[in-house]
Amino acid sequence: MFKRSLSAMSKNIGRRLDGKVCVVTASTEGIGFAIAKRLGSEGGKIVVSSRKQKSVDNAVEALKSHGVKDVIGTSCHVGNSEDRKRLFQTAIETFGRIDCLVSNAAVNPEVGSVTETSEKAWDKIFDINVKAAYLLSKEVKPFLQDSNGGSIIFVSSIGGYQPFDLLGAYSVSKTALFGLTKALALEVVNDNIRVNCVAPGVIETKFSSALYESETAKETTIQMIPMKRLGKVDEIAGVVAFLASDDASYMTGETIAAAGGMLSRL
Ligand code: NAP
């Protein structure tokens, strides 16, 4: 039954983002790519990015082949200020405006609990997962102020609510994004900018492969999920498309969990 509703969902994609310029970080594969594809399928003009130019070029071609008409890309390591500047400049030079930022990049260089995390890994995690999200928001704000209804969407994690044992610092960084969402939403509410967040559960991507690649790991992971299955990237992309669209016009400062029923309260 669930399979049927998923295919119905993908056939039912509307044009809620017609003409909206959407910049998506870390969007050459996984959840980010699915978000770029979904926003583009709904009429958005898309700017894809990630660290490697080759991956960006491939993603642009792949999106075009999926029927996304207006799509460009540039390399952008979100921790690099020149790269972030170029990302927004590229969007403005090509499309003349920015209406939506999806801040999706994150890293987890070490596996371990909070106190097992090295200081170096802690700094890297917070630099990319939190500080870069704050800087991207700060830098995109003037462009969104010129939009007729701007939107920022952070990609957090269900681990931000219920920390994963072996992803201690990463989980804390994802909790921080809930706070950033709330604080920023209030700050920019009079600029006609909405700020929301999505907290994915365990989604089948390269990033989470350690959680499902072996049969034992998969069994342990599935046991944590009330729906007893992993999530698909398109199931996160749909939530982001909703948040970016006017269907969410009265929503700001909120986080939507899409995690197969996993605990989503702090
Ligand atoms: P993924 O499939 O591994 O994709 C990672 C993407 O990020 C790639 O396009 C990669 O391209 C890019 N990237 C990595 N570091 C970057 C950086 N510093 N700057 C810019 N781009 C960078 O990962 P994913 O699973 O889709 O994860 C995407 C987001 O979802 C992350 O925020 C993650 O925390 C969150 N999330 C994932 C899951 C899950 O189960 N998968 C669950 C909860 C939350 P390059 O190598 O070319 O840079």
Q: Is 147 in the pocket of ligand 1 (CB under 6 A)?
A: no
Q: What is the pTM of this model?
A: 0.96
What does the alpha-carbon distance between residue 188 and residue 44 come to, in Å, rounded to a whole number?
A: 23
Mean pLDDT over 159-173 rounds to 97
* Residues facing 73 on adjacent strands: 48
Q: Closest residue (by CA) to atom 36 of ligand 1? A: 157
What does the alpha-carbon distance between residue 154 and residue 134 come to, in Å, rounded to a whole number?
A: 10
Q: State the closest ligand 1 atom to the C-alpha of 202, by its place in the atom list counted from 1.
A: 40
pLDDT band at 215 (very low <50, low <70, confident <90, very high): very high
Mean pLDDT over 119-128 rounds to 98
Look at residue 136 in the predicted model and tell me its pLDDT: 99
Query: CA of 146: how far to CAs of 38, 54, 142, 151, 191, in Å?
Result: 24, 32, 7, 12, 9
Q: Closest residue (by CA) to atom 11 of ligand 1? A: 50
Q: How far is the CA of 33 from the centre of ligand 1 (A)?
A: 9
Above 50 in pLDDT, residue 217? Answer: yes
233 in Cβ contact with 33 (< 8 Å): yes
Q: State the closest ligand 1 atom to the C-alpha of 105, by its place in the atom list counted from 1.
A: 32
Is 170 among the catalytic positions?
A: yes
Nearest residue to 156 via CA among 39, 55, 75, 243: 243
What does the alpha-carbon distance between residue 117 and residue 111 come to, in Å, rounded to a whole number?
A: 8
- Residue 128 is classified by DSSP as I
Q: Closest residue (by CA) to atom 34 of ligand 1? A: 106
Q: Is 29 in the pocket of ligand 1 (CB under 6 A)?
A: yes
Domain spans of the chain, in order of start: 18-258
Look at residue 14 in the predicted model and tell me its pLDDT: 86
Q: Closest residue (by CA) to atom 44 of ligand 1? A: 157
Query: pLDDT tens-digit profile of 129-144?
Result: 999 999 999 999 999 9
Say how many CA atoms lie within 13 Å of 81 toward its Cβ: 4
Residues ≥6 apart with Cβ < 8 Å to 92: 98, 143
132 Cα distance to chain centroid: 13
Q: Is 36 in the pocket of ligand 1 (CB under 6 A)?
A: no
Query: pLDDT tens-digit profile of 60-85?
Result: 999 999 999 999 999 999 999 999 99
Nearest residue to 140 via CA among 186, 68, 92: 92
Above 90 in pLDDT, residue 17? Answer: yes
Beta strand pairing status for 150-155 and 100-103?
A: parallel
Q: How far is the CA of 160 from the centre of ligand 1 (A)?
A: 16
Q: Where are the alpha helices (DSSP H) in the chain?
A: 2-11, 30-41, 53-65, 81-95, 119-126, 132-145, 168-188, 215-224, 233-244
Report the residue among 46, 51, 80, 218 best suited for mutation to probe ligand 1: largest number of ligand atoms under 8 A from its CB: 51
Mean pLDDT over 256-260 rounds to 98
pLDDT > 90 fraction of the chain, expressed in percent and rounded: 95
Tracing tokens 């969402």 back to the chain, one arrives at 181
Q: State the closest ligand 1 atom to the C-alpha of 55, by its place in the atom list counted from 1.
A: 47
Mean pLDDT over 201-205 rounds to 98
Look at residue 109 in the predicted model and tell me its pLDDT: 97
Look at residue 20 in the predicted model and tell me its pLDDT: 98
237 in Cβ contact with 37 (< 8 Å): yes
Q: Does domain 18-258 have CATH number 3.90.180.10?
A: no
Query: pLDDT tens-digit profile of 89-117?
Result: 999 999 999 999 999 999 999 999 999 99
Q: How far is the CA of 26 from the centre of ligand 1 (A)?
A: 6
What does the alpha-carbon distance between residue 213 and residue 167 come to, in Å, rounded to a whole number?
A: 17
> How much is the mean pLDDT over the chain?
95
CB atoms within 10 A of CB 82: 9
99 in Cβ contact with 120 (< 8 Å): no
44 in Cβ contact with 71 (< 8 Å): no
Above 80 in pLDDT, residue 193? Answer: yes
Q: Closest residue (by CA) to atom 23 of ligand 1? A: 207
Above 60 in pLDDT, residue 8? Answer: no
* Residues facing 256 on adjacent strands: 198
Above 80 in pLDDT, residue 53? Answer: yes
